[in-house]
Structure 1
Amino acid sequence: MTENHLELVQLINKRLEERNYGSEPKELYDPIRYIMSLGGKRMRPLLVLLAYKLFKDDPETVVDQALAVEVFHNFTLVHDDIMDNAPLRRGKATVHEKWDANTAILSGDVMMVKAYDMLLDAPSNLKQIVRDFNACAAGVCEGQQLDMNFETLATVDESAYINMIRLKTAVLLGFSLKLGAMLAQSSKEDAELLYDFGVSIGIGFQLKDDLLDVYGDQTKFGKQVGGDIISNKKTFLLLKALELANEDQRKQLDYWLGLETFDAVAKVEVVRAIYDAIGIEALTKAKMNEYFDHGFSDLEQLGIEEEKRTSLKRFAEYLIDREH
């Protein structure tokens, strides 16, 4: 990240530390303070402020609206962790593990309410902001349901997978950028271009995450490399391999996918060898770069000077080049 990006992240984190979500009962509000204190990239509120800065120079005036996106994002993580029965989030106990599932559900519900509270102080375009936020929030839930549906299907085609990650991950990035533009009272055309840019970058971002899970550096990735293979997660890599595998490769994939007990290291090695033979890494990179290129094309069409686009472009390039 650039110095400008880090300054904005510091502004976001400072406001988060000052934020009062509520006090009593503490069993309701302590989990909110806990999940919001676990850190993270703060990518979504940063995108709000970067988009705002394309048009205006006082991002400190809309930090609370940017935080609304971060609170909503963490609300989805609290509920997703319950659905996935996940024990850890950012290396710490998940809310439902530290407290219990009922507490996590209720605290998550309050987080959603608090996100609306933060949006209500928007200096302009409030009705459109809330309408677009609602569409985004519903889309995220639709994406999560599709992801759960995929768990029971033998295979999923590429277009269905791309649509799922578009909803589950990318539309929130698109909304974050559009929110920044709307707060700055940009033209509708520029707001939509930023939304489209964010969605394309978001799809590429998730494909990069799929790729890093298999081919990332363990010391940099921050979680177990090969975790998606171990859990039979239907990522782009697995779906493409199932589509392109020859008869012998398909038999091996079906065998390892069907095992309930297995040597995790051996499974990762065998499946990754099949990916290597088919060329899955290169195919995933090509698809990922297709979406990144489309996103940058949208960014170039913005009706603003090239110099003002630089900070947002550099952050997108940082996401593309990341190794964790």
Structure 2
Amino acid sequence: MAQDATLSLSEPPAAHRLRVRATYASLAVAAVLIAAKLVVWISTDSVALLSSLVDSFVDAAASLVNFFAVRQAIVPADREHRFGHGKAEPLAALGQSAFLIGSAILLMFEAVRRLVSPAPVEGAAAGIAVMVFAIAVTLGLVAYQRHVIRHTGSIAVGADELHYRSDLILNLGVIATLMLGSTLHLPILDPLFGGAVGLWIIYGAVRIARLSLVQLMDREMPDTERARVRAIAEGHPEVTAVHDIRTRIAGPTTFIQLHIEMDGGMNLLRAHEISDAVEAQIQAAFPQAEILIHEDPAGIEERVAFPPRTAARS
């Protein structure tokens, strides 16, 4: 029974619902954490806590972008967008990376200012309490987001999950900074930690941007996945060869194109039936893919505009 439930999540409607629910959960968590951290930051004036608050504001902005991007990405293809709207997801993720870098720079400026003029943190206990609450809420959200990513492969939800996963480390660091700063009376720890968090945020932003550009630049699927496509097509007894496999990913949709070679004396109807059979097998392996197959007579050499660099990528 559990297996059937898992398989049903591969169907587009179920995957779409998971994406949408993930954006609702992310927005709700961001709003709650902003309210809690804002109240405590005002009373403590801690740069470490400010770094966590800034990160939550960025998470909220990014989650809001995701909220609209995920809905746009699952809109069916129309007259103006024949290949669908899937690239809304990597575009949103790229926007998130810009949000992250901007907030990190502002945070590092504040950390430098406090390094020059350090001040003791007041009300550390309240700051620690809100951080413990933030960790508990964030753990629940990250667990749910990983569930969604596992069943949808959403890059936008993946970018959000990366934000909140880094927040766990950030929140633990804030707790350690507040505890050490108040017990050891070392106010310099507060801005030092804030600056370190700024560098951490920039590192994560660069990773998100790189993942987004992979999809926006129509990079091929991994070689292992392309090999699966080839093996499925070549597995049909009447397909003599496969060539010119081209793939790309746009949000929730994978586009797969390939040429299959068959007996040149075969009639058109039979060739069409074989092509449909191969397409159905590939579709079963890649449920959210759009597949285009071109039939060639065996032995006919075609001009390849962009030959593969190696035989493995043909």
Judge same fold: TM > 0.5, yes or no: no
Which has the larger strand fraction?
2
Which has the larger helix fraction?
1
Who wins on radius of gyration, i.e. which is larger? 2
